[in-house]
Structure 1
Amino acid sequence: MFVKNAIDLFSELGVRLRGFGDDSATRGVVNAACRANGWFTPAEVRRAVGAIARDMLSREKLEAWLANYPAVPVATPRRVLVVMAGNIPLVGFFDLLCTVVSGHWCLIKPSTKDTVLMEYIVGLLRDIDDSAPVEFYDGASSVDAVIATGSDNANRYFRARYAGIPSLLRGSRQSAAVLSGNETPEQLTGLADDIWAYSGLGCRSVSLLFLPEGYEPMLQMPAVNGKYKNNYRQERAVLAMQGHPFLDLGAAVAVEQRNFPTALSRISYTHYKTLDEVAGWLAMHDEELQCVVTECLPHSRRASFGGAQSPALTDYPDDRDVIAWLAGLH
């Protein structure tokens, strides 16, 4: 498939995804997706689909993005298996998009937690063009390369399972925010979204805050999923029994520590004296980081307040250029 045809395909998909959830048919898809994954909410499913349509599938953005890659489409298409995570709605879509616009055939292995939405998307693509190079993996066919995303344990399995073929593998990552102490109320509202959107389950969800000495930001928690609240109650009880100090944020706990939390409903925070100190910590822990929300420090994966959950086409996971990797497959 030529890049022009791929742009036609995905820009039309973007058109068809506009207003997703506004009619009875797509509301049915939303409800089915939420039944299949109790962490999904209707509002967040709609949000995820809307962000993809807006930030990834406009013709202008697709053209500008792909203009940077003269090597695509590739001369020899390969069969690329995409093993998807299911922590947030359609989190695996970007790899599907990259694979197809690069000129390869995409074999999808969706998470059981996000099959409903992925089946809907593939159905739309086939309706637009029945020759679209996308299909669900049958579990047995040979593949030439793999892109796989999952937990650190899953990542170790991927390394063993796909050792003989080119592979782009991703494990667990988390995100941090660095505050100056001069943030506006609007920026703090955006930060709350960066922390708690999608129940904090995304790799771009902020879970560690760097604060200047003496600064305690006032964060207003948005409404969270009932499953997240249950997790919070358990975490609060454990910390109380252990006599471990914490701040109760209403549906999450904040603990002073300079490392990423291991519990979903726990937010870490730490105070710093200088920004150089923070920059050093970020550099030392780069392999744990997905993005950094800040306006007071440069970073290769910096996001604006309120922007962590809306990655652009060039915000590659783990800072690995997926299109360049796909273009190099032989």
Structure 2
Amino acid sequence: MIDKIERANQVKRSTARLSILSNSMLVIMKLVVGFGIGSVSIISEAIHSAIDLIAAVIAYFSVKKSAEPPDKEHTFGHGKFEDFSGLIEAGLIFVAAILIVREAALKLMGQGTELDSRLLIAGIAVMFVSAAANWYVSSRLMKAAKATESIALEADAWHLRTDVYTSLGIFAGLALISLTGWKFLDPLFAVAVAIFIMKAAYDLTRRAAADLMDTSLPEAEEERIKSIISEHYLQYASFHELRTRRSGSDRFMDLHLVVPKNLTVSEAHSLSDHLENDLREAFPRSSITIHFEPCDMNCDACECNSTCKDRIYRESHSE
């Protein structure tokens, strides 16, 4: 299990480094071409990529920190670093969107650098390269995020995926300008970029805030947890008060398990170990707490199954 977690941490770090390298190259390309031809939409994309670069750096350090084991000051681990990373990244996207809108507004009012139609082909080319590169890197990030359940990598992946769509939009816009000569389309496409990434920032803020507020795990995951526990129904009477939350890639769950009242401490401990192992097989980075309660043989109260009730009855009358 430890080797599996360490492999996941290595995947996180290597994929985050790839994102940093890719974004660094794209920022330089877009800034050079954007200022070279005076395109506010390409400059806005450069700003977007610069924010993506900062987000990638934050994601790298957050996944590195969250992988550290619990210590004296952080007894529940460091998973929240990933959630804070997602929240910071969302804030950075909002800032980028505001800067883009400002630049576009200045352009629409006749201020700023005039678009050089003669060099539009360079802008079209860099947008195509940007879209292709970000599609590849975002796919790698999303795959790693799903495999390691990292919100930091997922946030970075969504950043780059939005960059793919906005780059394609500006690619189409510049191509349209080259055909029609309508230069006012350049700042309009920049505003469209800003609106699109604001939506991405809003969704990311909700996701990160949910984990910081200790919101329960998704319904599908809770149903999976209940299903795993129910596979051992012959060994207990019932369970209740299941509580779950998430911290980065780490999950926390606790529940009350009702067992036959004559179950020994050793038997209860063995059952607990068995349940925890099965749950961690499905959810590797999990902290599980099980509180045992004795069954009072009152099915209306504890909803115990008939098999368990019969077992309690036989054992209590064999003494």
The normalised TM-score by structure 2 is 0.24
Higher strand share: 1
Higher helix share: 2
Larger radius of gyration: 2
